[in-house]
Homo-oligomer: A and B are copies of this chain.
């Protein structure tokens, strides 16, 4: 990589960091391109050499941040698995990842607010156009399918819907609780949430012929 290429990457990163900081402090709409450039230490026109407009830099950030986050969670799971002598049941893995993400985001509210309810979007959608150079972005659904199959779990249609539902439930509930502290504290909510996750997961994993009795 030439020196000038390095400089370009540095500038791009400076712009991304600057934009992230402004978006999370004063908000997307109140952030001006001039402010992003100024904070990044470049001229206003330079911004346009790297991004078409504010939307583009926001999308790049969402992809970038959510992919980073998921990687961190998976790495943490790997480390956990390495330390154990016994295998971890799939259900526990699910809860482990959920717990990692929730804990992480509760400590970085700015990040939570930013990727907010875009988490699913960020992960499910970006195999497509926005992945761009961030080719390390993960298709979470494909990943989960693989992981479960590797653990001997049959990924039925029902299981797919369950995964989807768990993600939505978890992200939405935690978003509310972390940001609004309502109706309980996160500490109090966590065990309850995990029991819900386990409940739903088990129900999906169970053989249909002997289902958890759903309706009387």
The residues of A with any CB-CB pair to B shorter than 8 Å are: 29, 117, 120-121, 124-125, 141, 158, 160-162, 164-165, 168-169, 171-173, 176, 180, 182-184, 189, 192-193, 195-196, 198-200, 202-203, 205-206, 208-216
Contact = CB atoms under 8 A, between A and B. Distances in A.
A169 B164 CA distance: 10
Q: Of residues A124, A189, A192, which shows the largest number of chain B Cβ atoms within 10 Å of its Cβ?
A: A192
Contact of A212 (B29, B141, B193, B214): B214
Copies of this chain present in the complex amount to: 4
A160 B172 contact: no
A203 B199 contact: yes
Contacts of A121: 180
A161 B192 CA distance: 8
A165 B193 contact: yes
A140 to B, nearest CB: 11
Given A117-B172, A161-B184, A196-B203, 18 more contacts: A29-B29, A161-B183, A161-B192, A164-B173, A165-B173, A165-B192, A168-B172, A169-B169, A172-B172, A195-B203, A199-B200, A200-B200, A203-B214, A205-B215, A206-B215, A206-B216, A208-B215, A211-B214
A213 B216 contact: no
A132 B193 CA distance: 34
A165 B171 CA distance: 11
